[in-house]
Structure 1
Amino acid sequence: MALSDLSDWMDENTGLDCVWFVKRLSANDTLANETHQAGPYIPREFLFRVFPEINRPDVENPDCRFVLSIDSHMDRRIVRAIWYNKKLHGTGTRNEARITGFGGRGSALLDPENTGALAIFAFLVDEQGAASKCRVWVCRTEIEESLVEDRIGPIDPGQSRIWAPNLERTADLYGTAKRVRTSCYLQREEIPLPWLVNFPSGAEIVSKTIEFKPAGGMNPDTRLLARRKCEFEMFRSIEEAIELPNVLRGFLTIDEFLARAQTILQRRKARSGRSLELHALEIFLEEGLVENENFTHQPESEHGKRPDFLFPSAALYKTTTFPASQLRMLAVKTTCKDRWRQIINEADRIKEKHLLTLQEGVSVGQFHEMTEAGVRLVVPEALKSNYNKKIQPYLQSLESFISDIRLLTGRLR
């Protein structure tokens, strides 16, 4: 299918009778970690809204069947929405909702090679928000993912988004407008005044995040995930304080509205692209690594090539007499399904490239391809369990990576 097919598909499934649930497929959703979940996880609160007949705590594992079409892969079948609630009945430990009945690895939603892919579930709903069928698109390329994120904003691993044209109705039915105060959500009066005039840079927000989530006793892996979550909450609160008044005032022309929407979406994409890198930088400094002595951030390794981090430094990298075996490179990418290949040629002297990612799993086949290309994954400790058990022993935590750098550079904390 051409890219125009995806654009047409999104247009066809954008209406007052459509609600999207968008997520990146984790290894628990596909069959990548061989846990046999047999279907993607969707929050039960959302499934209760679109399939109210399964909201039956008095019944063990209530379910319903409906037609689901995976239009990106020309697959149509009758599937099952089920609430696994045996924990409530004392007959098991599960209390989660899933959609099942896809027929195994032949389905794009269960194909391990689609782990990390962006998937849109477009539910056709009535006035009460109940669904009659669902159409799905599983993005096959990075370009397709960009088309989707240009429309609704970036989706990071572990996150999901409920989206519909009639936001007021969607908020009422699905609870997306409820704003629960968290430790990092800033009320308008808590936001620095300059930020209300000019949207703060990513570095400024990360710096504020560190005030809320100082290092304390947290190890680097825990700290990274806690700060990412905190920073996202903070970003959204600032965005709401600045942009919501503009939205409520309304727009005089369609072009004016589209320009504002595009500004918001591009800002979200820019934030998502640099956030993880900035957090890693701060953690390196907190762990006692000295910039340009133990690492260099955004150096030029060769003409036109800029890895995210070089260790011990760019100067030593360019010193031809310095042993290549003592050099390290770290790339930072929130998702790595298609993006890992971008780092292979970033630092010619370094054969093994380390890649820090938050992606929740890759297929065994893709992992072997990465390994053969000299790419080693660095994954926060809490996310390792999302990977296939065959892969887990070869994953390196951020804390372990930093320890290796200390030994490499002789830098003691």
Structure 2
Amino acid sequence: MAVSDLTDWLGEFCAPGIALCVKRLSGNDTLANRTHQAGPYIPKEFLFRIFPAINRTDEKNPDHWFELAVDSHMDVRQVRAIYYNSKRSEGQKNGRDETRLTNFGGGASALLDPESTGALTIFAFPLDENGAAIRCHVWVCRHETEEDIAEERFGPVEPGSFVMWSPDQPGLFPPFAARPARCWLEPAEIPPAWLAQFPTGADIVRKTVELRPEHGTPPDKRLLRRRDCEFEIFRSVEEAIELPAIRVGFTTLDDFIARAQTVLQRRKARSGRSLELHTREILIEERFREGVDFQHGPQSEPGKRPDFLFPSQAAYRDPGFPKARLRMLATKTTCRDRWRQVINEADRISVKHLLTLQEGVSEAQFREMTQANVQLVVPEPLIAKFPPAIRTDIMTLESFLGDLRMLNHL
């Protein structure tokens, strides 16, 4: 089936009787980091529901073959869902315990193409009367516009998270996390003012720091742990506020749509600023003084506002302040298409530092970034998801902070 328009495709496959899994392809899913894991990772909780025959440990690596069509790229092939179960079936301490889709024939498939790393991807599985998958249709978003269309339907989809829905499961599955942050707030634990008016992103980040101070934890790990915690807090407050209204019901379709749009826009706003707000907190904790050592949300030139300038907007605008001592940092959860947005920020600064949580880029895209003087900054635990050839050229958050400290002592 050839489908040229994502909007039409969503209309056909976001429908009753179809299970959905939405994610961003990581460097371990594609061939970007050359780990040869041979296909996209899909959580066991999802695949076991729609391919129950692979949920077993009495046989090594059980699999199921089926037809998969990547409709965005007009590619159809027989692939398999496989449960790599050596950790459980053979008791191997370092064995595997994960499910993937494999047999895509190498980089010719859009799902394994290194250039697809970071792409928002939708897997749609039509189900039979018993709830088992018949086949799969996939859309790999080809550019930012398609990702925006998809996120209008599903809400923000961040690297390492999943949106999953199955007809036998009411609502959307919560985003999958291997290590729950356990920051969920029960209604009695939520500040009363938050229930009257939804808290700002800064309010939730401050609560996150309270629950996860992480004293002594390196900045890279602290950032990732707090991001997980913050999202749990956000979802718990969202549920406490929205669920009662949903249970009461709506008198008109317009009322329902308006409420749904409010929820979706709130999620997008949170996703857009979360990384930036967490970064500010870590800078302060690492003893960088706001207004002296860094400035958050300054104006470098008219109409240009990088997320962070170092040491300050005043220093940046002072022609006598050495350019070599200036730095800027942009924060973007994903960078596959959005990295180009930072090129025109802060004209005086030649190298633009970009902090991202995207789980890998292709070597070709990394070269393009480097040629444009964009320096990737990636939390240390995520660097293993990037190609080995470029890992040493990526800065961690901690190494970026070390560079700032050196500048402060010049």
Instruction: Bin the TM-score by the shorter chain.
Output: over 0.9
Q: How far apart, in 1, do the equivalents of 2:331 and 2:288 lie? A: 17
What amino acid does structure 1 have at the position aligned with 2:19?
V
Contact map agreement 1:3 1:144 (CA 8 A) in 2:
no
The Cα of 1:183 is off from its aligned counterpart by: 3.0
What amino acid does structure 2 have at the position aligned with 1:360?
E
The Cα of 1:348 is off from its aligned counterpart by: 0.6
Q: How does 1:255-270 map to 2 (within 5 A)?
A: 255-270=254-269
2:19 maps to 1:19 = yes
Q: How far apart, in 1, do the equivalents of 2:305 and 2:193 lie? A: 32
What is the DSSP-based 3-state SS (H/G/I as helix, E as strand, rest coil) of the residue aligned with 2:266? helix
TM-score, length of structure 1 as denominator length = 0.94
With over 3 angstroms needed to count, the CA separation of the structure-2 counterparts of 1:4 and 1:298, relative to structure 1, is: farther
Q: Say what the alpha-carbon RMSD is for the aligned residues.
A: 2.1
2:111 alignment partner in structure 1: 109
Please identify, of 276-285 and 36-45, the stretch whose mean Cα deviation from structure 2 is larger. Answer: 36-45
1:124 alignment partner in structure 2: 126
TM-score, length of structure 2 as denominator length = 0.95
Q: How far apart, in 2, do the equivalents of 1:3 and 1:218 lie? A: 48
The Cα of 1:101 is off from its aligned counterpart by: 1.1
2:348 alignment partner in structure 1: 349
Q: How does 1:56-205 map to 2 (within 5 A)?
A: 56-90=56-90, 93-163=95-165, 166=167, 169-171=168-170, 183-205=182-204
Q: How far apart, in 2, do the equivalents of 1:75 and 1:214 lie? A: 48
Q: Percent identity?
A: 59
2:319 maps to 1:320 = yes
Q: How far apart, in 2, do the equivalents of 1:175 and 1:333 lie? A: 25
Runs of 4+ in structure 1 off by over 6 angstroms are: none
With over 3 angstroms needed to count, the CA separation of the structure-2 counterparts of 1:377 and 1:201, relative to structure 1, is: same
What amino acid does structure 2 have at the position aligned with 1:228?
R
The Cα of 1:61 is off from its aligned counterpart by: 1.1
Contact map agreement 1:294 1:313 (CA 8 A) in 2:
yes
Q: How far apart, in 2, do the equivalents of 1:47 and 1:407 lie? A: 49
What is the DSSP-based 3-state SS (H/G/I as helix, E as strand, rest coil) of the residue aligned with 2:193? helix
Equivalent pairs counted in the alignment come to: 406
Contact map agreement 2:328 2:349 (CA 8 A) in 1:
yes
Q: How far apart, in 2, do the equivalents of 1:55 and 1:125 lie? A: 17
Instruction: Give per-residue Cα distances to partners, 1:300-335, cap 9 Å, x unaligned.
Output: 111110000011111011011111111101000000
1:230 alignment partner in structure 2: 229
Q: How far apart, in 2, do the equivalents of 1:283 and 1:389 lie? A: 28
What amino acid does structure 2 have at the position aligned with 1:364?
E
What amino acid does structure 2 have at the position aligned with 1:329?
M
Q: How far apart, in 2, do the equivalents of 1:300 and 1:238 lie? A: 33
Q: Which runs of 5 or more residues in structure 2 are unaligned?
A: none
Q: How far apart, in 2, do the equivalents of 1:3 and 1:311 lie? A: 47
The Cα of 1:88 is off from its aligned counterpart by: 2.9
What amino acid does structure 2 have at the position aligned with 1:138?
V
With over 3 angstroms needed to count, the CA separation of the structure-2 counterparts of 1:182 and 1:278, relative to structure 1, is: closer
What is the DSSP-based 3-state SS (H/G/I as helix, E as strand, rest coil) of the residue aligned with 1:135? strand
1:374 alignment partner in structure 2: 373
Instruction: Give per-residue Cα distances to partners, 1:182-235, cap 9 Å, x unaligned.
Output: 531000011011111110000000011110011411111111011100000000
2:336 alignment partner in structure 1: 337
With over 3 angstroms needed to count, the CA separation of the structure-2 counterparts of 1:4 and 1:150, relative to structure 1, is: farther
